[in-house]
């Protein structure tokens, strides 16, 4: 992530990765304020064994696109909500990449989905992880079914909280 202000959103990605048993590294590196550090990190990520990078950024949001320009594996961009433009600036900066430099992009503040997308990418070559993802999806289904059962039992007025 480019700033510690992104941490609450990126923590959601980390939570998902931990729940699914995926090891990760979390760093704060600014593509604008420390380009030499950023370049070295992105350049050496493949040799460190990284398979996917999740990059969160706000405002000009160059971090995901620059990662994708240097790192040959998938990059997932997480646009951060901003006070001036509500995150649309971040979203457009990440999603509007030139041909040849793709960045998978999740919703504004979509840290959890970034973690899930990274897991799904990794699961294409990891059967055990795929099983954990299927179990995770099953839990989500059970949660929705429980909420519907409560609604059916108590009605909408009993579910207003």
CATH number at residue 55: 3.40.50.1970
DSSP letters spanning 8-55? HHHHHHHHHHHHTT---------TTT-HHHHHHHHHHTTTTT---EEE
Q: Flag whether 116 is in a domain.
A: yes
Residues 78 and 139 in one domain: no
Task: Report the number of distinct structural domains present in the chain.
Answer: 2
Residues 15 and 54 in one domain: yes
User: Residue written as tokens 């971040």?
Assistant: 90
Residues 99 and 54 in one domain: yes
133: containing domain? 127-156
- Looking at per-residue pLDDT, the higher value among 93 and 160 belongs to 93
For range 136-146, the mean pLDDT:
98
User: Residue written as tokens 């207003």?
Assistant: 160
Residues 72 and 151 in one domain: no
Instruction: Kindly tell me if the per-residue pLDDT of 161 is higher than 90.
Output: no
Give the β-pairing of 53-57 and 75-79: parallel
Q: Flag whether 161 is in a domain.
A: no
For range 79-88, the mean pLDDT:
94
Residues 70 and 138 in one domain: no
Residues 15 and 55 in one domain: yes
Residues 36 and 73 in one domain: yes
According to the model, what pLDDT value does residue 124 have? 98
According to the model, what pLDDT value does residue 41 have? 97
Q: How far is CA 45 from the centre of its chain?
A: 17
Give the up-direction half-sphere exposure of residue 76: CA atoms within 13 A in the CB hemisphere: 25
Instruction: Kindly tell me if the per-residue pLDDT of 34 is higher than 70.
Output: yes
Instruction: Kindly tell me if the per-residue pLDDT of 90 is higher than 70.
Output: yes
What does the alpha-carbon distance between residue 122 and residue 17 come to, in Å, rounded to a whole number?
Answer: 11
Q: Flag whether 91 is in a domain.
A: yes
Residues 16 and 50 in one domain: yes
Residues 16 and 89 in one domain: yes
Closest CA to 110 of 36, 40, 10, 37: 10
Residues 116 and 99 in one domain: yes
Residues 55 and 112 in one domain: yes
Residues 119 and 148 in one domain: no
């Amino acid at each position: 992530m480019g700033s510690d202000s992104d941490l609450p959103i990126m923590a959601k990605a980390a939570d998902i990765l931990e729940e699914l048993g995926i090891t990760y590294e979390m760093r704060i590196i600014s593509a604008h304020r420390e380009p030499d550090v950023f370049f070295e990190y992105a350049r050496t990520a493949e040799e460190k064994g990284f398979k996917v990078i999740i990059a969160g950024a706000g405002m000009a949001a160059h971090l995901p696109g620059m990662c994708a320009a240097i790192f040959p594996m998938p990059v997932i961009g997480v646009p951060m909500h901003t006070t001036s433009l509500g995150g649309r600036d971040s979203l457009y900066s990440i999603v509007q990449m030139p041909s040849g430099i793709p960045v998978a992009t999740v919703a504004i503040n979509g840290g959890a989905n970034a973690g899930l997308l990274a897991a799904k990418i990794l699961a294409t070559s990891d059967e055990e992880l795929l099983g954990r993802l299927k179990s995770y999806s099953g839990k989500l289904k059970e949660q929705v079914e429980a909420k519907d059962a409560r609604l059916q039992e108590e009605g909408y007025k009993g579910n207003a909280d």
